[in-house]
């Protein structure tokens, strides 16, 4: 019997796709590079076809703002035609124009995620601009009318941490399937100092979400990146279950590392999908995922406090936050392990 490959051991089931890094808004905490780069539609189709044949069953589209991709409706039609379930993240501004294609492909729609920055118009619009809250509420009303499943995402910052319970209650009243919180990943010393929670504040926020989840019938949870102070596999990316296709047509380890603002490192980028098969690229992703799991476990054993929060550990060790150093000392944190990432092409 031939030796099993890493892809046989860790099958990829979901693909995240950065359709574009263009956005109509300019949220201060956003981790994406602000440009006008759209993923080529024909390349996307070929990757989706290979991914489906490989065993992928679901796709999540992110941005930027996904509805600004010039062929967004064709993207959803092609995804559904290939038999794949789809989700996407949106700020809601352009949602009405997507309703016809959502109705057409409703059988393939898993969930729409709306990005919300506070439970009130004032709180949300302070981050996203006047009129944003009402646009999003109108989009949610359309979901309720047409029976589109939806959830709410909120990035937790010093500004919004006090509204976790109120956000969850709002989500339940609006009819959301789930309310998800995510810790902010800082893109500069200024935003780290003014918006990031301390480790103790992050743990407290997670405890509050857990307490609210125990009360509401709707799931309330922190997504990947929450506290995990023990060795193991902290997320689907490091488990090898999810891989990311960026808007430049490259397969990468994780969507949170992709197109990271002010980053200098790209060791998370695996392959150009114009010249590499999906299967081959996934095998390379799995090698990198295994290495990163082992590196984080070693950092935990060595007492590196930053390894407790997996996303923060990854952005540091993949050189997404090289501006850190003095800022971390000032905040009472230690920088993650300084060792460079293992090149993706090296077997482990």
Average pLDDT over residues 318-341: 55
Grade residue 341 by pLDDT with cuts at 50, 70 and 90. Answer: very low
Q: Is residue 190 part of a domain?
A: yes
Q: Is residue 63 part of a domain?
A: yes
Q: Is residue 141 part of a domain?
A: yes
Q: In the numeric block, which tokens belong to residue 315?
A: 């952005």
Average pLDDT over residues 16-23: 96
Grade residue 337 by pLDDT with cuts at 50, 70 and 90. Answer: very low
Residue 282: name the closest of 60, 64, 6 by CA: 6
Model pTM above 0.95: no
Average pLDDT over residues 49-78: 97
Q: Is residue 178 part of a domain?
A: yes
77 is in which domain, residue-wise? 9-326
Task: Output the CA torsion 6→7→9→10 (10° steps).
Answer: 110
Q: Is residue 331 part of a domain?
A: no
Span 211-267, pLDDT tens digits: 999 999 999 999 889 999 999 999 999 999 999 999 999 999 999 999 998 888 899
Task: State how many domains the chain has.
Answer: 1
Q: Is residue 337 part of a domain?
A: no
Q: Is residue 346 part of a domain?
A: no
Span 146-177, pLDDT tens digits: 999 999 999 999 999 999 999 999 999 999 99
Span 294-316, pLDDT tens digits: 999 999 999 999 999 999 999 99
Rounded CA-CA distance 75/59 in Å is 11
Rounded CA-CA distance 19/79 in Å is 13
Helices (H), ranges, 147-230: 164-174, 189-195, 199-215
Structural contact between residues 152 and 182, judged by C-beta atoms closer than 8 angstroms: no
Q: Is residue 348 part of a domain?
A: no
Per the listing, tokens 């109705």 go with 103
Residue 302: name the closest of 325, 335, 277 by CA: 335
Rounded CA-CA distance 33/54 in Å is 30
Q: In the numeric block, which tokens belong to residue 153?
A: 């995402």
In this prediction, residue 224 carries a pLDDT of 82
**First-residue to last-residue Cα distance in the chain:** 21
Q: List the beta bridge partners of residue 203.
A: none
In this prediction, residue 323 carries a pLDDT of 81
CATH number of the domain residue 157 falls in: 3.20.20.70
Bridge-based pairing state of the strands 14-18 and 58-62: parallel
Phi and psi of 89, rounded to 5°? -110, 135
Span 244-260, pLDDT tens digits: 999 999 999 999 999 99
Rounded CA-CA distance 255/226 in Å is 16
Chain mean pLDDT for the chain: 90
Structural contact between residues 84 and 58, judged by C-beta atoms closer than 8 angstroms: yes
């Amino acid at each position: 019997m031939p030796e099993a490959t890493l892809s046989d051991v860790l099958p990829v089931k979901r693909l995240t796709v950065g359709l574009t890094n263009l956005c109509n808004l300019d949220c201060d905490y956003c981790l994406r590079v602000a440009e006008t780069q759209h993923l080529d539609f024909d390349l996307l189709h070929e990757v989706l076809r290979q991914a489906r044949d490989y065993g992928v069953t679901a796709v999540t589209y992110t941005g930027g703002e996904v509805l600004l991709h010039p062929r967004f409706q064709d993207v959803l039609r092609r995804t559904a035609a290939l038999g794949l379930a789809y989700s996407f993240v949106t700020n809601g501004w352009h949602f009405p124009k997507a309703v016809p294609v959502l109705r057409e492909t409703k059988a393939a729609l898993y969930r729409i995620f709306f990005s919300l920055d506070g439970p009130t118009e004032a709180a949300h619009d302070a981050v996203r601009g006047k009129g944003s809250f009402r646009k999003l509420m109108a989009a949610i009303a359309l979901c309720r009318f047409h029976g589109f499943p939806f959830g709410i995402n909120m990035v937790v910052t010093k500004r919004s941490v006090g509204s976790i319970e109120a956000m969850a209650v709002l989500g339940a009243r609006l009819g959301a399937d789930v309310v998800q919180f995510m810790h902010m990943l800082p893109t500069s010393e200024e935003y780290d100092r003014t918006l990031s929670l301390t480790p103790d504040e992050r743990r407290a926020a997670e405890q509050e979400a857990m307490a609210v989840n125990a009360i509401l019938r709707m799931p309330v949870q922190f997504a990947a990146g929450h506290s995990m102070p023990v060795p193991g596999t902290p997320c689907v990316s490091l488990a090898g279950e999810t891989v990311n296709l960026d808007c430049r047509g490259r397969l990468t380890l994780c969507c949170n590392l992709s197109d990271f603002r002010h980053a200098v490192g790209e060791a998370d980028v695996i392959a150009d999908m114009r010249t590499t098969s999906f299967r081959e690229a996934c095998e390379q992703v799995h090698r990198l995922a295994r290495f990163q799991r082992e590196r984080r476990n070693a950092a935990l054993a060595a007492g590196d406090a930053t390894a407790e929060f997996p996303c923060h550990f990854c952005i540091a060790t993949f050189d997404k936050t090289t501006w850190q150093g003095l800022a971390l000392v000032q905040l009472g944190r230690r920088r993650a392990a300084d060792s460079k990432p293992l090149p993706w092409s090296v077997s482990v």
